[in-house]
């Protein structure tokens, strides 16, 4: 993934939410340069938890 541009219009709603939360947590640059696999279990869990919370709020 390193160096790849994110094509926002091609992302699913879930992926858009995932990137938005990563940005809020200050992890977006790490994801852009090193990929999602570079995140720790704690970081990934926080993203997943916040995604679930936001999805519930959207209902």
Global pTM value: 0.84
Task: Report how far residue 56's alpha carbon sits from residue 38's, in angstroms, rounded to the nearest whole number.
Answer: 27
What pLDDT, on a 0 to 100 scale, did the predictor assign at position 1? 44
pLDDT given for residue 26 in this prediction: 97
The string over 1-39, giving b where at least 16 C-beta atoms fall within 10 Å of a residue's C-beta and e elsewhere, is eeeeeeeeeeeeeeeebbbebbeeeebeeebbeeeeeeb
Residue 33's pLDDT is what? 93
Report how far residue 27's alpha carbon sits from residue 20's, in angstroms, rounded to the nearest whole number.
10
In this predicted structure, what is the pLDDT of residue 7?
83
Record the tokens describing residue 40, joined without a space: 């720790």
The tens digit of pLDDT for each residue in 1-57 reads 455 677 888 999 999 999 999 999 999 999 999 999 999 999 999 999 999 999 999
């Amino acid at each position: 993934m390193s160096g790849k541009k994110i094509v926002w219009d091609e992302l699913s709603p879930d992926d858009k939410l995932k990137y938005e939360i990563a940005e809020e947590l200050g992890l977006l640059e790490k994801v852009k340069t090193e990929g999602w696999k570079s995140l720790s279990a704690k970081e990934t869990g926080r993203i997943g938890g916040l995604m679930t919370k936001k999805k519930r709020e959207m209902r």
